[in-house]
Structure 1
Amino acid sequence: MNDETPGLSFDSQLAAIQHVERRQLLLALLTATSSGSALDDGRARPGTDVRKLKLQMYHVHLPKLERMGLIEPNGNWYDIRRGPHFDDIVPLLRVIDDHEKRLTGDVL
């Protein structure tokens, strides 16, 4: 990140991880071996309506994360990569990833 581009505020980072589906997607990008990650039906929680999830992802969650600069489509929405502000949220994602087993509820 350069000095001319302001970083993502802490409140914006919290908004980005507020929904479990966005959190899962950002954590998948954090732990991916490359900078991109395909959206996968297999990552849906048990009992999830996959059709409804896809609609929410494509119409709500992905556009929100793209506006925040956390993700970018890599040619299409089936394959995304880290956006220009992804590094801003990495410390927060690492805390969640490192303490996943100690956090309760629908963290992941």
Structure 2
Amino acid sequence: MNDNAFTALANERRRTLLLNLLASNPQDAGVESSTGESVLTDAAQRAQTEMYHVHLPKLEDYGYIAWDKDANEVVKGPQFHEIRPLLEFLASNSPE
């Protein structure tokens, strides 16, 4: 275990993404309008921009995710096994 794992889990958005990946390989999904275009609030747009420019690159650098920017797809990365024990602990001790 290294400090990257704790840095990755320190942010709620990164933590949520990694916990979702623990259960499956989710795709980035926006709310689509009837025209097929994504409809996002200002806050959602800011969160999406932050995810794209900060959180996804950091998780990809650590190897916890593999990110296909063109397909807008995120899946478990080659080093996901390093963070899995912490994610399993968090998931099993979640207040939900």
Q: Share of identical aligned residues, percent?
A: 33
Tell me, yes or no, if the aligned pair for 1:69 and 1:86 is still in contact at 8 Å: yes
Unpaired runs of 5+ residues, structure 2, are 32-41
Normalising by the residue count of structure 2, what TM-score does the alignment of the two structures yield?
0.80
Unpaired runs of 5+ residues, structure 1, are 1-7, 43-47, 103-108
Instruction: Tell me if 1:28 matches 2:17.
Output: no
Q: Give the alignment partner of residue 28 of structure 2, picking from 39, 44, 48.
A: 39
Normalising by the residue count of structure 1, what TM-score does the alignment of the two structures yield?
0.72
Q: Give the alignment partner of residue 63 of structure 2, picking from 45, 59, 69.
A: 69
Q: Which residue is 2:88 aligned to?
A: 94
Q: How far apart in 1 are the matches of 2:47 and 2:69?
A: 21
RMSD over aligned Cα, in angstroms?
A: 2.2
Number of residue pairs matched?
A: 87
More helix by share: 2
Tell me, yes or no, if the aligned pair for 1:41 and 1:50 is still in contact at 8 Å: no
